[in-house]
Amino acid sequence: MLFNSWSFAVFLPLVFALHHAGRRAGWQVGVLTVASFAFYGWGTDAGGSPHWKLLPLLVLSTVVNGFAAQELLSAGRSDRRRRVVLGLALAFNLGALGFFKYAALIGKLLLPAALWARWGDPLSHIPLPIGISFYTFQGISLVMEAWWAGAAGIVGLAAPTAAGGRGWFHAKVWFFKSFFPQLVAGPIVKAGEFLHQIGAKRWSDVDWDGAVKKLVLGFFLKMVVADNLKDATAALRFPDFTDLPSINLLALLYGFSFQILADFGGYSLIAQGLAKLFGYELPLNFDMPYLSRSLTEFWRRWHISLSSWLREYLYLPLGGNRRGAGRTYVNLFLVMFLGGLWHGAEWSYAIWGTAHGLLLAGERFFLGPGRAKEAVGWTVGSAVRAFVVFNVVSALWLLFKLPDLSHALAYARCLAGNSGAPQVQALFVVAVFSAPVVAWHLWSVAAPGCVRRAPAWAGRAETAVHAMMLWMTVLNAGSPGDFIYFQF
């Protein structure tokens, strides 16, 4: 089910009413869990295959990770047994991800030509369960945190005892793994961030102001900005773009940069707003990424939940920056390469991640770790740096839009060599629908000063702007489209 669908417009009030109809935590968690599985299983994919067929894998993932976490958190387990459980759980999670997402890529890489000729077709047609990358990472987070915590327990999740608690333990795990606002496209929630929040929620706990503001901004970014930009950036398709003049090619690339942020950032804000309606907080996923003055800063602002997951469960266990400069560069490179590959089984994603990894390592080498992270105050120089970073990031987004490397290179050639009169229609769309994203970023720079100087005025302006965004969402939405990150 999509957040921007009519079925969701019926689903949400129904679930909200049922959730708040009971006051006990068990009822509320039960309602949200059942609703989340219904949300996941609703509808069909592009090929007409019903989504409920994907439910068994989500159930299996939940059961396996739940029992692994229970084992790891239980007192009196030997180290050897705990290691085996952790190993099996990680093997299951990575195996499921590898099979459903990377089987074709791995097969093509490793299988001899004769075997690939026989198995290539079935391997290439393994369906990709929606959200598998997201809920698998949450599963890994659960078992890793259970491994680290041991019998001390994760805050909000203690192992069941002989006296009981098994049902509530697993109810919490099922809820954590399936909570519908973040189930299919994040933010990737770590166990320690969420489990302690599970409990009875009252109507009066709902932060309506916060929820409505997040929902309004999220839906505006998705339905007005991203969906309208999508109609223009559809022209970035080989060979359609080869006749376009350079100015249009550049504008469409910028437009795609804003579209991908509005699409995914919008989704994340909607997820946060929905969670607030039920009394839960999800982590911030985007923090004005196009204001970044270095790539290091960009990765602290873009898809924060993935970056922090990779940092916590991959970069730091690999040694982070504690094992010398050389190892730090290798770790950075490896994490970004795998982070790129996380997005999909295409070499273009690996190249995208690798390019980011190399640039991050280069930045660290030339600027030093301190300056690469530095992000204080605005000067002309830092604005120029932000513009350069935006251009580098935008150029690399091309690999998302044109996964075939030869097409991306053709785009670069056309950008450098095409002439001709600008096509006004696409320029209009990019200018008009990118403007809100630019304004959103600029406002975040100006807001603290405005709020300090005239808090009442700033509050009223914020309300008016949100009302205007809701008005635009009703009257000016683009053609409905899937969320870009669903494919990951």
Partner 1 sequence: MHRHRQALVIVVSALLGVGAWAFVRPWLPRAELAESNFQANLIRLQTWSMEPPRSNVVVGSSIAGRLLPSCFRGTPLDSLANLALDGSGPELGIRLLLGAGTVPPRVFVEVHRLGKPWHANDDSLLGVVHETGFALAGHLPALRADTRPTTLLYAWLKGRREPAGEARAPGAAPAPATARFPAADPGWEERFRGQVGELRRRGCEVVLLRLPVGRENPADPAAPGDADRLARELGVRLIDVNREAAKRGLVPAYSDGLHLAPASARAVGVLFAELAARPAP
* Contacts with partner 1, residue ranges (CB under 8 A): 6, 206-213, 216, 228, 231-232, 235, 239-240, 243-245, 420-421, 423-425, 428-429, 432-433, 459, 462-464, 466-468, 470-472, 474-476, 478-480
CB of 19 to partner 1, least distance (A): 18
Closest separation in Å from C-beta 15 to partner 1: 19
CA dihedral 353, 359, 365, 368 (to 10 degrees): -100
What type of residue sits at position 446? A
User: Please, what is the minimum distance in Å from the beta carbon of residue 17 to partner 1?
Assistant: 17
Q: How far, in Å, CA of 206 to CA of 202, rounded?
A: 7
Non-local (6+) Cβ contacts of 111 within 8 A are 119, 120
Cβ nearer to partner 1, comparing 358 with 431: 431
Nearest CA among 186, 399, 430, 445 for reference residue 290: 445
Q: Cis link prior to 187 (omega < 30° from 0)? A: yes
Please tell me the distance from the alpha carbon of residue 306 to that of residue 353, in angstroms, as a whole number. Answer: 13
Nearest-approach distance from CB 110 to partner 1, in angstroms:
34
Rounded to 5°, the CA angle 51-52-55 comes to 105
- The distance of closest approach from Cβ of residue 320 to partner 1 in the complex, given in angstroms and rounded to an integer, is 40
Whether residue 290 contacts residue 386, with contact meaning beta carbons closer than 8 Å, is answered with yes
Give me Rg for the CA atoms of the chain.
23
Nearer to partner 1 (CB atom), residue 161 or residue 479 = 479
Can you give the length of the chain in residues? 488
Q: Three-state secondary structure along 283-343?
A: CCCCCCHHHCCCHHHHHHHCCHHHHHHHHHHHHCCCCCCCCCHHHHHHHHHHHHHHHHHHC
**Cα distance from N-terminal residue to C-terminal residue, the chain:** 16
Q: Give whichever of 143 and 223 is closer to partner 1, judged by the CB atom.
A: 223
Closer Cβ to partner 1, 148 or 208, answer by number: 208
CA angle 158/159/162 to nearest 5° reads 125
For residue 74, the cross-strand partners are none
Least separation in angstroms between CB 315 and partner 1: 38
- CB of 5 or CB of 444, closer to partner 1: 5
CB 318 within 8 Å of CB 376: no
Q: Is the CB of residue 288 less than 8 Å from the CB of residue 467? A: no
Residue 143 main-chain phi, psi, to 5 deg: -70, -35
Of 9 and 115, nearer to partner 1 (C-beta) is 9
Residues whose CB is less than 8 angstroms from the CB of residue 193 and which lie 6 or more positions away in sequence, other chains included: 283
Provide the minimum distance between the beta carbon of 422 and partner 1 in the complex, in angstroms, as a whole number: 10
Q: How far is CA 149 from CA 32, 173, 192, 311, in A?
A: 27, 16, 10, 18
* Selection from 272, 274, 345 nearest residue 99 by Cα: 345
| Least separation in angstroms between CB 278 and partner 1 | 15
Q: Is 343 a catalytic residue?
A: yes
Q: Give the active site residue among 20, 343, 356, 407.
A: 343
| Pick 104 or 429: Cβ nearer partner 1 | 429
Q: Encoding tokens for residue 403?
A: 């996964």
- Shortest CB 208 distance to partner 1, Å: 4
Question: Residue 413: helix, strand or coil by DSSP?
Answer: helix
The residues annotated as belonging to the active site are 343
